[in-house]
Amino acid sequence: MEETVGGAVAEDVRRRILSMLSSGALRPGSRLGTEREMAARFDVSRATLRSALLPLSQAGVLERRTGRAGGTFVRADIVQRHAAEQAGLPALLHSGGHSSHTKVLATDSRPATVAESVALAIPDGEPVVVIRRLRYADGVPLSVDQSCFVAAHAVDLLEQPLGGSLYELFRTRYGLAPASTTETIEVVSASPREAQCLDIGSRKPLLAITRVTRATSGVPFEYAYDLFRADRVRLTATSSTGLTLACAAAVPDPA
């Protein structure tokens, strides 16, 4: 049956949903429920509910997702990110009109692994500082980031506030500014732990970005592994000829 915008009852449901959005009761990424759950919640038929949701979906306010964890959700805006981005994530989000928030999940000071030693061009086992953080955009989980730094470059790093831009912290306190970045990008499946942090289903696709950041001297000072929700990030890359390639990050769910 073709969906229509409905009558007075459907309009009332639409107004109630918009009121919940304006009051903050619903936020970007919030799940309203399945069609059956929402029909019971608003005490309307499923046909009327579909009519109420249609204009909101067409306007980009709501989106419907299929699958076991599907339903109707408040749309969370896509975040545009350039490949080999040198700006910190908070600055990137703010420039795109998004709000940002960071939660520090864990910190550690320990000997470098072999992979970290190679990436940072330091002897195997030299002390490093590792910071793992959960990043939010518009109140919705966006990425889990793990950054590894040479301890000798920032001896009191773990005593500093770590909720903002680490690049800005390194620039102002330690005199190290990102001058070049090398990134490797691949698609991986979310582990149960990662899925819980990012509020998505287990084995949902993530964009995994492995990054080495170098200072103006050419010395590597950061080795990072960031996991972005694939449904919330779009990558762009610009060549030297000015051609821009837009890569949609939303990929099919793994079977």
pLDDT in the model for residue 18? 83
| Of 209, 237, 214, 235, residue with least CA distance to 224 | 209
What does the pLDDT read at residue 244? 41
Q: Give the tokens for residue 172.
A: 């102002």
pLDDT of residue 85: 59
Output the tens digit of pLDDT for each of the chain's 255 residues.
334 556 889 889 988 988 887 677 877 778 888 889 999 999 999 999 999 888 888 766 788 887 777 788 887 666 666 555 555 666 666 655 667 889 999 999 999 999 999 999 999 999 999 999 999 887 888 899 999 999 999 999 999 999 988 999 999 999 999 999 898 988 899 999 999 999 888 888 898 999 999 999 999 999 999 999 887 777 766 655 444 434 433 333 433
Tell me what pLDDT residue 91 has: 63
> Where are the chain's structural domains?
5-74, 79-235
pTM over 0.75: no
Q: Give domain 79-235's CATH number out of 3.30.1650.10, 3.40.50.300, 3.20.20.140, 3.40.1410.10.
A: 3.40.1410.10
CATH number of 5-74: 1.20.950.20, 1.10.10.10, 2.70.160.11, 1.20.810.10?
A: 1.10.10.10
